[in-house]
Chain A
Amino acid sequence: MGNTSSMLTQYDIEEVQEHCKHAFSQQEIVSLYQRFCQLDRSGGGFISADEFLSVPEFAVNPLSQRLLRMLDGLNFKEFVAFLSAFSPHVSLQQKIEFIFKLYDSDSNGKVAFHDMLDVLRDLTGQFISEQQREQVLTEVLEEAGYTKDSMLVLSDFVKILGSSDLKMEVEVPVD
């Protein structure tokens, strides 16, 4: 595995960099490739759900199943594009887009009450009743000027989250 940088040609690195819109430096892409190969133990060119779950820190995360749906079958180029939302060089808009995509599980461009409830259920598990969850969500929605039947689109998310100091960054170790 120490020779993987020789398996990624300069051309490959530039192509990946283009695809992720220069969210990562070339060195970071090489590091990510080493990590990708380390996780992809079966060598199939993509990281299976099982291989992701073998990272205990990932497996104990409440959003792991949701993220796995987005990570399913990604090749390396797409993997880097996925992670680009966590780069410090990427705009707040792109980060909010990522969060929106996570909520919008049926990818119809709209986030409904039940979508938000689904994510809350993942995050809180059995420690709060469904009824209480709905109650809290309805309340905060109404306070923000929406209703239970509102369908939120990306611009709504930008309005809601855009003003907060969103911190969504991950550092790629480069040795």
Chain B
Amino acid sequence: MARTSGKLRSSSSGLFSDRPEVEDHLSLGCSVSEPPPKLQLRDLLDITPSLTEAAGAIVDDSFTRCFKSNPPEPWNWNAYLFPLWCFGVVVRYLILFPLRATVLAIGWIVFLSSFIPVHFLLKGHGTLRKKIERGLVELMCSFFVASWTGVIKYHGPRPSMRPKQVFVANHTSMIDFIVLEQMTAFALIMQKHPGWVGLVQRIILESVGGIWFNRSEAKDREAVAKKLKDHIEGTGNNSLLIFPEGTCVNNNYTVMFKKGAFELGCTVCPVAIKYNKIFVDAFWNSRKQSFTKHLLQLMTSWAVVCNVWYLEPQTIRPGETPIEFAERVRDAISKRAGLKKVPWDGYLKYSRPSPKQMEEKQQSYAAAMLQTLEVDAK
């Protein structure tokens, strides 16, 4: 009889709430023909695998890493760098910022003075109004981008408005939407925010089309799935832009993509966005700052530089589940933008993991113990 350690092992990571139960691999280290070795006292008392996992998670975990905003490196102050830096601050706050704020103000005035009349006067002329409003929104986004001195490089064929397609992109900040909207008027699906942002969301997105969802409502998912389907089937709607991560991530990693966008039976066009951190860290750490503060930070930095890649449209392959499809698209986006993949659900930022994952581990321990009883019974 081969000597085996007979250790109790919990199932390793790879845990997502959407996935069906993962098969547990009990490493009792025996082949099928031999009876499993009996558990000894030291096997039961040896809890080191679980302990090591827990301690490992305390020391460093892949989930928290996704939301760590990079602090700006402190400069080495010396006689010439410090005055240079001070000069830079003066330029940024006292020259660039007022200029940018003015540009933004002008943009708002131009936009509102055109949008409001068009919205009410052309009430009867649906398509014409929509077209003008779309153009106005694109214009407004350009104003926004100018207000941060945005240098955005678009790669790949420009998105064309075709029916039965959705666009998915990785999510770093709410400005992702503005960066993409500047080029094409997408319809959006977004979490409603309070304050002036919510107002803006409501007004403008009435024109390009938008779907609301509420993270905190459990039943919301089905309602949203239906709204998504209706939008895609409807004619004359702008293509939907979806951020399947469901939350802002720090542009070094991608979290699990929610399968909602991938089970609609239409083409998925992936878009990868990567911000250049040398100029500013565009990650909106919603736990740390409000959106207003985030925008102000952008407007007092030198520039927002980013790359946008429009990738090849993908359709679900025969025999592929929506989750696998989502993973495949996430792979493509992560590779293009140089992001690392992480097997966690972004919503864990707001809630605890479901008990299912702990139960999987418990189940494998219990199975090992039960096997001992069976061996005795024989």
Instruction: Write the residues of chain A forming the contact surface with B, with a CB cutoff of 8 angstroms.
Output: 1-3, 32, 35, 38-39, 41, 52-64, 67, 83, 85-86, 95, 98-99, 102-103, 116, 119-120, 123-128, 132-133, 135-137, 139-141, 143-144, 146, 157, 160-161, 163-173
> Which chain A residues border B218 with CB–CB below 8 Å?
none
> Which chain A residues border B8 with CB–CB below 8 Å?
123
B102 close to chain A: CB less than 8 A: no
B321 close to chain A: CB less than 8 A: no
Q: Give chain B interface residues in 40-71, CB to chain A under 8 Å.
A: 40-48, 50-64, 68, 70-71
B97 to chain A, nearest CB (A): 24
A57-B61 in contact (CB<8A): yes
A160-B53 in contact (CB<8A): no
In the complex, what distance in Å separates the CA atom of A144 from the CA atom of B39? 11
A105 to chain B, nearest CB (A): 13
Secondary structure at the B interface, as helix, strand, loop or mixed, is: helix
> Which chain B residues border A83 with CB–CB below 8 Å?
55, 58-59
Q: Contacts A60-B357, A132-B370, A169-B52; is A125 near B362 (CB within 8 Å)?
A: yes
Contact for B41 among A57, A135, A146, CB less than 8 A: A146
B51-A139 in contact (CB<8A): no
> Which chain A residues border B42 with CB–CB below 8 Å?
144, 160-161, 163-164
A63-B54 in contact (CB<8A): yes
> Which chain A residues border B369 with CB–CB below 8 Å?
120, 124, 128, 132-133, 136
Contact for A124 among B43, B56, B362, CB less than 8 A: B362
Interface string of B348-364 (1 = CB under 8 A from A): 10001100011101110
B40-A167 in contact (CB<8A): no
> Which chain B residues border A133 with CB–CB below 8 Å?
369
In the complex, what distance in Å separates the CA atom of A137 from the CA atom of B47? 14
Contact for A170 among B56, B344, B357, CB less than 8 A: B56
B201 close to chain A: CB less than 8 A: no
Q: Contacts A3-B71, A57-B13; is A102 near B47 (CB within 8 Å)?
A: yes
